Amino acid sequence: MLEFRFHGRGGQGSVTSAELLAITAVSDDKFAQAFPSFGPERRGAPVQAFARISDDRIRMRSKVYEPNVVLVLDYSLISIVDVTQGLVPDGLLVISSGLPVEKVRQDTGWKGRLAVVDGVNIAMKHIKRPINNTVMLGALIKASGCVSFDHMRKAVEDRFGRIAPVNLAAMTEAFDTATISEGA
């Protein structure tokens, strides 16, 4: 079973990205879950969402404490939230930043596998708003192969309708441009 934790700010789409991941995994004929860290909804405040993907039925309703993958949608969170808390040593950190990999490693202290993508700029280019959830999914799929890109494309089309094309363009660019750095 793979466990995921998403860090973002309210309004940025972290919950949606967890949901899209689970929907896609089910389309891939796997078992999956996605759920927010339930609480009052506050735009701009740090929020978390969780997902699980498994070949077998998932019988578990607790939060994710030892994720295999952490996605960070907002780089400014790393100074206020311990985003790598519980992340397993052979896990993957996917983070939105325009900074070089070395600088991201320095800022996060993460020595394991790392994927960096300039999420906000890619989102601004295609979606014209700093909402980078679909962008981050493109980087995640490239770095982990945890779900099929084609099924994710379908999930994004179903969810976003009219604005699906710009989201798909952003997701594709993230897939093409994400920098992946193997861990120490």
Partner 1 sequence: MAKRKGIESSIALADSAAMCRIEAISAYPITPQTHIVEHLSEWVNDGELEAEFLPVESEHSAISAACGMSAVGARTFTATSSQGLALMHEILFLTASLRLPIVMAVANRALAGPISIWNDHSDIMAERDIGWVQIFAENGQECFDLVPLCFKVAEDKRVHLPMILNFDGFIVSHMIEPIEYWEQAQFDNYLPAYDPQIKLDIRNPSMMGAVGVPEIYYEVKMGQHQVLLDSKVVVKEALEALEKQCGRRYEVVESYRADDADVVMVLLGSLVETCMTAVDNLRAKGLKVGIVRPRLWRPFPTEEFIESLGDIPVLGVCDRSYTFGGAHHPLASEIKSVLYGSGKAPKICEYMIGIGGRDIRVEEFEQMFMQLLEVKENGKDLPIQYVGVRS
CB-CB contact of 51 with 68 (8 Å): no
Backbone dihedral region for residue 171 (phi beyond 0: left; psi -120 to 50: alpha; all else: beta): alpha
Of 19 and 118, the one with the shorter C-beta distance to partner 1 is: 19
Does 147 bind partner 1 (CB under 8 A)? Our answer is no
Of 15 and 116, the one with the shorter C-beta distance to partner 1 is: 15
Q: Among 12, 17, 24, 133, indicate the residue that binds partner 1 (CB under 8 A).
A: 24
Number of residues that bind partner 1 (CB under 8 A): 25
Of 31 and 149, the one with the shorter C-beta distance to partner 1 is: 31
Stretch that binds partner 1, among 16-24, 69-77, 138-146, 173-181 (CB under 8 A): 16-24
Does 161 bind partner 1 (CB under 8 A)? Our answer is no
Spatial distance between the Cα atoms of 9 and 12, rounded to a whole number of angstroms: 6
Of 13 and 108, the one with the shorter C-beta distance to partner 1 is: 13
Does 26 bind partner 1 (CB under 8 A)? Our answer is yes
DSSP assignment of 77-128? GGGTS-TTTT--TT-EEEEE-SS-HHHHHHHH---SEEEEE-HHHHHHHHTS
Residue type, 58: I
Distances (CA, A) of 49 to 6, 64, 106, 120, 167: 5, 9, 25, 19, 20
Taking the complex as a whole, how short is the minimal distance between the CB of residue 116 and partner 1, in angstroms?
Answer: 27
Of 21 and 83, the one with the shorter C-beta distance to partner 1 is: 21
Taking the complex as a whole, how short is the minimal distance between the CB of residue 120 and partner 1, in angstroms?
Answer: 26
Scanning residues 27 to 66, which ones bind partner 1 (CB under 8 A)? 27, 29, 31-36, 38-40, 58-63, 65
Taking the complex as a whole, how short is the minimal distance between the CB of residue 172 and partner 1, in angstroms?
Answer: 22
Q: Which of 143, 142, 167 is CA-nearest to residue 154?
A: 167
Binding-site ranges for partner 1 (CB under 8 A)? 18-19, 22-27, 29, 31-36, 38-40, 58-63, 65
